[in-house]
Every structure is written in C-alpha cells, then in structure tokens.
Amino acid sequence: MRSTDRNTARDARELGNRTVLHRILAVLGAFDTSTTRLGLAELCRRAGLPKTTVHRIAGELVEERLLVRDEQGLYALGMRLFEIGELVPVHRTLSSVALPIMEDLREATRKRVHLAVLDGIDVVYVEILGATSIDVGSRPGGRIPAHATGVGKVILAYSPTATIQARLEAGLPALTPRTITTKDALVADLRKIRSIGMSLDLEESHLGVSCVAAPVFGFNKRIRAGLSITGPIGSMDPGLLGPAVRTAAFTLSRALRDAGL
C-alpha cells in the first residue's frame, strides 16, 4: 500500500469513527431537563438521524448502560453516565472540599448557595445547596453565559485578559433586561468587582433574583471557582451578606491550597 493510500484509508477510518462519536453524542444530546424519556421516533427527530441508525446506536448504549429502556419502550439516560460524570475532577475534587463550607454558609444565611466553575465562556454550576421560596433557575450541571451571572462575573474579573476577550468576542446575550450587554459596562463592572472583592448580580440572570458572589482561588492563586448566595431580590442585602460569602470563599480558597488543589 502506498503512503497516500494509507493516508486515505486512515482519513476514511477517522471520519467513520468521528461520525460514530458524533452520532452517539447526538443521541445522548436528545435528552434535556424537560425531556427525560423519549420514544424511538422522537429520539430520531431530536438526534437528526434515521431510525435504523438510532435504533442500532440506542441498543448499544443500552447494552453499555449509558441508556436505559423502560417497560413502555421509552429511553432515558442511564446511571453509568452519572457515575462517569461524578469522576470529572473539576467537579469532584472541588466539591469534596467545598461542600462542608457551603453547608456552613447555607446554615448561617439560609440562602441558596451556588458553586460554579468557568468552562470556556460559560459557567457551569457544580454544587447547589438550599431550596428557595422562588424559582431561581439554577441546577447542578446547568450552563449559563459567564457575563450574565454573579458567579460568572466574579470568575471573569480574576481571569486572564484572554478569557475576558473570548467572552466579549462571543457576544454578551441578554438573559433579562438587566443583563450587562455592552463591553464598556462589563469591563467597568469587572474593575469594580476586583476593587471590592465580590460581585453583585441584580436580576441579571433571572428576574426577581439577586446574588452576591466571591472568588475562590486554588493552588498558584489561580481563580478556580465562584461561590455565591442567591435569593429573591428584596431579601438580599449585599452589605450584610457580602462578608459571609467572602469569608466562606476565603476559607475554601485556603482549604484548596492546603490540599494542593
């Protein structure tokens, strides 16, 4: 076999494999928070793949416990995905150190406590403690544009310029009429956050909801996460709650550094 033939064969194989991974992710990606169980027809429609393909892939995924199929023949995401997800180190090592401190903050403030990390230009909630009287629109594993939330802004404020630039270049979509949507306003807010050591989110991610967030640093003093407390806007006094969140964030930062994380 000539070298070009080998390359062509390899390219074809790579294309084939990539297609398989894409198809697997298209099937898994068909499920979301409001659609947890799907029949074959709807699974095909959402995955954008033909019935025979989805039937075959779903069968393999069931065999590997990445999907389960109930008595009515509906598919759902399987426990093995949860088990793999729990091993993701950004989540696991951070959560194990953070949870006791988050419990203390919850007990002291009776607010909903969030821990989030930056992933690209969004934040992802890794741990949430505490119910609230109103829906604040957050859930573990939930993803939100970093500029539009308290935890996201506080992480951006202490991130390298390139990270902030990436967020600006991707645009600043509005989640509510109060979301910061211009470059100048965001840059000014980030400067303010650095000067007071915490960020405020006044109905910027969810109407009726506000939040106070403080930065969490790890090994090398690098920004690792944002810690926040959230509640109905009338119940949140930043002057009162800021010191509590900042204290917990300092404690968590020191615990991470002590653990070499």
Residue number, 58 or 180, with CB nearest to its own copies: 58
Q: Which residues contact 60 (CB under 8 A, 6 or more apart)?
A: none
The answer to whether residue 20 forms part of the interface with its own copies (CB under 8 A) is yes
Query: If you search the block for the tokens 């080998």, which residue do you land on?
Result: 6
Secondary structure (DSSP) of 97-124: HHHHHHHHHHHHH-SEEEEEEEETTEEE
H and E: helices and strands count for the chain:
9, 8
Please pick, from the candidates 7, 8, 9, 18, the single residue that binds its own copies as defined by CB under 8 A.
18
The answer to whether residue 77 forms part of the interface with its own copies (CB under 8 A) is yes
Residue number, 14 or 258, with CB nearest to its own copies: 14
The answer to whether residue 64 forms part of the interface with its own copies (CB under 8 A) is yes
Binding window for its own copies (CB under 8 A); candidates: 17-25, 155-163, 224-232, 238-246: 17-25
Residue number, 6 or 191, with CB nearest to its own copies: 6
Please pick, from the candidates 45, 46, 69, 106, the single residue that binds its own copies as defined by CB under 8 A.
106
Neighbour tally for 176: CB within 10 Å: 14
Q: How far apart are CA 230 and CA 132, in angstroms?
A: 9
The answer to whether residue 258 forms part of the interface with its own copies (CB under 8 A) is no
User: Are 151 and 227 spatial neighbours (Cβ–Cβ below 8 Å)?
Assistant: yes
CA-based torsion, 175, 102, 140, 160: positive or negative? positive
Nearest approach, Cβ of residue 78 and its own copies (Å):
7
DSSP code for 159: S
Query: If you search the block for the tokens 């968590």, which residue do you land on?
Result: 252
Nearest approach, Cβ of residue 201 and its own copies (Å):
22
Q: How far apart are CA 93 and CA 97, in angstroms?
A: 7
User: Among residue numbers 138 through 157, which ones bind its own copies (CB under 8 A)?
Assistant: 139-143
Binding window for its own copies (CB under 8 A); candidates: 95-103, 147-155, 207-215, 252-260: 95-103
Q: Which residues bind its own copies (CB under 8 A)?
A: 14, 16-18, 20-22, 24-25, 28, 31-33, 36-37, 56-57, 60-61, 64-65, 76-79, 81-93, 95-96, 99-100, 103, 106-107, 117, 119, 124, 126, 129-131, 139-143
